[in-house]
Amino acid sequence: MSQWVIKGIRTGIKTTAYPRGAENAAGVTPGLPRSGGFGTGAAALTERCLTHALEQAGEVISVDSRRCVHCYRCVRGVGQPLNWDGTYEWATAAPRRHQFGQPFQRAIHVLVVDAGDCGACLNEVKQLNNPYYNMHRLGFFITPTPRHADVLLVVGPVTDQMRFALKKIYDAMPAPKRVVAVGACALSGGVFAKSFVCANGVADVLPVDVEVPGNPPPPLAILHSLLVAVGRKAPAAADEHAPAAGER
Amino acid sequence: MNHTALQEEIESRWPGQARYRFDASNVTSEVTCARPALVGVCRRIIEEWGFSFAGLIVEEAAAEWQLRYAFYGEADAGWLQVLVSAPLGEKVFPSVVEWIHAADWHEREAEDLFGVRFEGHPHLGDFVLHNDAWQESVEPMRRGFDAEAALRNRLPDADWRPRRIVQEPGAFIMPIGPKFGGVTESVHFLLETVGEDVIRSSTRLFYKWRAVEKLAEGKTVDEVLLLAERFAATTAFAHGMAFSLAVETIGGIEVPARARTLRVFLAELERLRQHAGAIEGICESTALVVATSQAGILEEELLRVTGEFTGHRYLFGLLAPGGLLCDLPTEGCRKALNRSQDIIKRMNELERRLSISSSFLDRIEEVGSVSAATAKAYSLVGPIARASGLARDLRRARPYSGYDRFNFDIPTEQEGDGYARLRLLFAEARQSVRIMEQAVAELKEGDVCRPVPFRPGAALGSVEAPRGATFHWVRLDAGGRISRYRVITPSFTNWHSFNLAAEKFAFQDFPIILSTFDLSVAENDR
């Protein structure tokens, strides 16, 4: 069995510099479309968006990233593409309902619940445990039980047959607790929105504290959301052209 | 296969009750039969002619039910579809499960969602729609049902209890899920036990049912492509491609050569990444920490290769009906291939290390065995079928997207246990890189998309997804919108046999059996 020990040591350190530094490796994030002045083709480009994440006012396009499902219709197969950035610090925070105390800033236990996820968000959450991201070094641990959980991380649009289980899980968690909704489906229902069998996101069922857009958000964005949940990182700055929450 | 002989046999055995038609253009035989002849015809197809069952497609036409039993055979046999119809008022059909065991779950699903009865089926009800939460009268797949209107009255009945089969003294059911473990999909396992050993297990699925087939109805081809990519995103490209192939078949076009080759390259890149993820899952279930980390490194690197090459880590937003949404640079292809070749070398090293780790082998050998007979009876697909000695692969049997021009092997194993399935994943990953090499070599400049005329019609798109054969049935109406979308996924097909493999085992083997099956709940539940 010593072969594994030696192999493990030989592999060296793979872990990302984030959150202390920036992660610059290629392929760690799909990026997000950004709002801004566009030009005369703004209306035509907005038409192409199948999930109504884009809104046009004159020559300015505003992006509701909560609805963006990375279909790339606004950058691929068009003459003038929309501006995409390669960032990953996407998590936004709702006004705090209850302040986490000091002890929660260092180590927290996260309960991950799949409420109808397609597998991608869940797979990205799973990556947080591999050596590239290694969330344990930041004091984040995954727990299988609500009784030990400080943060409830929900993926998926909340299907009807999971709604009851999700509510029971939330109620079983001790206060103070936070809810993090991960991915476009958990924020707006995504491609499953407006359906007899799904809610339009977690907020329909539970109070949400932190939201991460993306379809799926990359591991770094999910890491950022946990850091935001405990107050160790600032939430993403509001997109100046983005429609305010609740506007649609 | 001799189609004239088939025709003679069908029409002489069931005179006036069954008609045979062969369409050479897409190698499809169609048997239209009356309800009383259905079971006999299906039995003949499975027992004598050696076809495999692909799935049951139920359609509600203007005035009648149309049930389509799809079969596929080896290379020259092609497709075979058995069509049965009945007026809308008559909702009873004979059940074929006595001869086609693989049709079991298809009939249960149709009964739940359409309200069609199957006479002779031993166990209908409580499948997609959980009985404790939905009223019996709800039939969501019927035409009149509004997919967008909110339903009320669906809070589960807390007094609901699963049925216990094992009746020995002291027997009880150990429930697992729908939320269990660390990062897992939502599904409910019921393990029946008298103490140490699990005697029998069953799975309660569809907690994640998003009614993709219903949501697709009335939508445009572009919108449904988004659904096809996103209902089971770990194998997004394979499902998106199966949907696109169906639409392209209806339109009667073939995609440009460059797009065909790029699709093969991307599909194999996805298979490689998915297999790396499955290997990580198996290592994790046996608690071999360093091996889990090693496999995790390979998976993340493949995700990064995919992300750098295509912009998205799960290959979203690349497919378009008629080809690809955008061209990908040949240079990027070469780079992705080089990285994959490096990764496969390290994967080989991982396999070698695992093969000499006795504690690992002790846990994975002879668990969750699936016999060749079971694999055949349940029409299993993908790595699970191939690990039980069934050399079944759509890339060879029904080639699509130009797979017939590629040189590759279909690895098989005979034991059908957990270790055989693990070895098979490694062997298939090597074949994927081999196909990627050939794809890069033959990549020529050219267009990547051709407009598809959206005319009314229906077609079956089939793809060998990383987890096995997937079939997407698409019907377009006169306005070019989807009027029926039926998705038959490998996880749905294979999950049917899972409880046979998970029988009479020790509790601690359960995660290992589950991980070696590599089933996706999202893919099953749709």
Residue A248: pLDDT band by 50, 70, 90 thresholds? very low
pLDDT, residue A242, reads 54
Cβ contact, residue pair A130, B312, below 8 Å: no
Cβ contact, residue pair A76, B130, below 8 Å: no
Cβ contact, residue pair A196, B151, below 8 Å: yes
pLDDT, residue A98, reads 60
Q: What is the pLDDT of residues B165-179, one digit of tens each?
A: 888 888 888 888 788
Cβ contact, residue pair B325, A73, below 8 Å: yes
| The pLDDT of residue A240 is above 90 | no
What whole-number percentage of chain B has pLDDT above 90? 48
C-alpha distance from A11 to closest chain B C-alpha (Å): 9
Cβ contact, residue pair B312, A3, below 8 Å: no
Q: Which residues of B touch A162 (CB under 8 A)?
A: 178, 186, 207-208
How far apart, in whole angstroms, are the C-alpha atoms of residue A116 and residue A162?
A: 7
**How many residue pairs from chains A and B have C-beta atoms closer than 8 A?**
208
C-beta contacts of B200-205 below 8 A and 24+ residues apart: B200/B165, B200/B166, B200/B499, B200/B503, B200/B504, B201/B499, B201/B502, B201/B503, B201/B510, B202/B162, B202/B499, B203/B495, B203/B498, B203/B499, B204/B130, B204/B162, B204/B177, B205/B127, B205/B495, B205/B521, B205/B524, B205/B525
Q: What is the pLDDT of residues B426-442, one digit of tens each?
A: 999 999 999 999 999 99
The CA distances from residue A203 to A51, A168, A187, B183, in Å, are 18, 15, 7, 21
CA-nearest residue to B295 within chain A is A130
Q: What is the pLDDT of residues B138-172, one digit of tens each?
A: 888 888 888 887 766 567 777 778 888 888 888 88
What are the φ/ψ torsions at residue A32 (nearest 5 degrees)? -135, 150
DSSP B302-332: HHHHHHHHHSSTT-TT-EETTEESS---HHH
Q: What is the pTM of this model?
A: 0.93
pLDDT, residue A99, reads 63
**CB contact set of B17 (below 8 Å; sequence gap of 6+):** B33, B34, B36, B37
Return mean pLDDT, chain A. 86
| The pLDDT of residue A100 is above 70 | no
How far apart, in whole angstroms, are the C-alpha atoms of residue B162 and residue B343?
A: 46
Q: What is the mean pLDDT of residues A10-33?
A: 89
pLDDT, residue B133, reads 79
Count the neighbouring beta carbons within 10 Å of the beta carbon of residue B173: 18
pLDDT, residue B109, reads 92
Q: What tokens does B455 get? A: 């005319």
Q: Which residues of A touch B150 (CB under 8 A)?
A: 196
The CA distances from residue B280 to A246, B183, B290, B316, B355, in Å, are 41, 13, 10, 23, 15
Q: What is the pLDDT of residues B347-372, one digit of tens each?
A: 999 999 999 999 899 999 888 889 99
pLDDT, residue A239, reads 62
pLDDT, residue B47, reads 85
Which of these, B292, B509, B210, lies nearest to A4 by C-alpha position?
B292
Higher-scoring residue by pLDDT: B506, B362 = B362
Return mean pLDDT, chain B. 89
Selecting from A14, A71, A144 the residue whose C-beta is nearest the C-beta of B316 gives A71
Cβ contact, residue pair A27, B313, below 8 Å: yes
Count the neighbouring beta carbons within 10 Å of the beta carbon of residue B327: 17
pLDDT, residue B200, reads 87
Cβ contact, residue pair B296, A131, below 8 Å: yes
Q: Which residues of B touch A131 (CB under 8 A)?
A: 293, 296-297
Residue A238: pLDDT band by 50, 70, 90 thresholds? low
Probe site for chain A from B128, B146, B230 (most A CB atoms < 10 A): B230
Q: What is the pLDDT of residues B508-520, one digit of tens each?
A: 888 899 999 999 9
pLDDT, residue B17, reads 83
Selecting from A70, A117, A144 the residue whose C-beta is nearest the C-beta of B312 gives A70
pLDDT, residue B170, reads 86
Cβ contact, residue pair B232, A118, below 8 Å: yes
Q: Which residues of A touch B280 (CB under 8 A)?
A: 130
The CA distances from residue B507 to B197, B219, B512, in Å, are 6, 46, 10
Q: Which residues of B touch A27 (CB under 8 A)?
A: 303-309, 313
Q: What is the mean pLDDT of residues B279-306?
A: 93
Which of these, B254, B258, B256, lies nearest to B245 by C-alpha position?
B254
**CB contact set of A117 (below 8 Å; sequence gap of 6+):** A155, A156, A183, A185, B185, B208, B522
Q: What tokens does A21 get? A: 């530094």
Q: What is the mean pLDDT of residues B254-274?
A: 93
Selecting from B146, B300, B359 the residue whose C-beta is nearest the C-beta of A1 gives B359
Q: What is the pLDDT of residues B25-55, one digit of tens each?
A: 777 888 889 888 889 888 888 888 888 899 9
Q: What is the mean pLDDT of residues B367-396?
A: 89
Cβ atoms A234, A218 nearer than 8 A: no
Residue A245: pLDDT band by 50, 70, 90 thresholds? very low
How far apart, in whole angstroms, are the C-alpha atoms of residue B166 and residue B175?
A: 14
| The pLDDT of residue B498 is above 80 | yes
Residue A247: pLDDT band by 50, 70, 90 thresholds? very low
How far apart, in whole angstroms, are the C-alpha atoms of residue B120 and residue B454?
A: 40
Cβ contact, residue pair B522, A3, below 8 Å: no
**CB contact set of B321 (below 8 Å; sequence gap of 6+):** B221, B222, B225, B244, B247, B248, B251, B452
| The pLDDT of residue B472 is above 70 | yes
Cβ contact, residue pair A72, B312, below 8 Å: yes
| The pLDDT of residue A1 is above 70 | no
DSSP 3-state of B476: strand
Residue B122: pLDDT band by 50, 70, 90 thresholds? confident
Count the neighbouring beta carbons within 10 Å of the beta carbon of residue B197: 12
Higher-scoring residue by pLDDT: B153, A41 = A41
Q: Which residues of B touch A30 (CB under 8 A)?
A: 307, 311-313, 316
Is the link from the previous residue into A19 a cis peptide, with omega within 30 of 0?
yes
pLDDT, residue B314, reads 93
CA-nearest residue to A72 within chain B is B317
Q: Is A36 left (phi over 0), alpha (psi -120 to 50) or beta?
A: left
Q: What value, to the nearest 5°, has the Cα angle with vertex A42 and ends A38 and A47? A: 145
Q: What tokens does B99 get? A: 């001869």
Maximum C-alpha span of chain B = 71
Cβ contact, residue pair A127, B522, below 8 Å: no
| The pLDDT of residue A22 is above 90 | no
Cβ contact, residue pair A118, B307, below 8 Å: no
Selecting from A14, A126, A143 the residue whose C-beta is nearest the C-beta of B297 gives A14
Q: Which residues of A touch B277 (CB under 8 A)?
A: 123
First to last CA, chain A: 58
Cβ atoms B402, B261 nearer than 8 A: yes
Q: Which residues of A touch B290 (CB under 8 A)?
A: 4-5, 7-8
Residue A246: pLDDT band by 50, 70, 90 thresholds? very low
Selecting from A26, A126, A169 the residue whose C-beta is nearest the C-beta of B304 gives A26
| The pLDDT of residue B499 is above 90 | no
pLDDT, residue B427, reads 95
C-alpha distance from A242 to closest chain B C-alpha (Å): 23
Q: What is the pLDDT of residues A72-81, one digit of tens each?
A: 988 888 888 8
Cβ contact, residue pair B209, A161, below 8 Å: yes
Residue B258: pLDDT band by 50, 70, 90 thresholds? very high
Q: What is the pLDDT of residues B210-247, one digit of tens each?
A: 999 999 999 999 999 999 999 998 999 999 999 999 99
Cβ atoms A222, A212 nearer than 8 A: yes
Q: Which residues of A touch B128 (CB under 8 A)?
A: none
What are the φ/ψ torsions at residue B248 (nearest 5 degrees)? -65, -35
pLDDT, residue B428, reads 94
Probe site for chain A from B188, B312, B349 (most A CB atoms < 10 A): B312
Q: What is the DSSP letter of B37?
A: G
Question: Please, what is the angle between helix B289-310 and helix B257-285, to 10°?
Answer: 160
C-alpha distance from A103 to closest chain B C-alpha (Å): 23
Cβ atoms B295, A14 nearer than 8 A: no
pLDDT, residue B126, reads 81
How far apart, in whole angstroms, are the C-alpha atoms of residue B258 and residue A140?
A: 46
C-alpha distance from B177 to closest chain A C-alpha (Å): 10
Cβ contact, residue pair A28, B154, below 8 Å: no
pLDDT, residue B29, reads 84
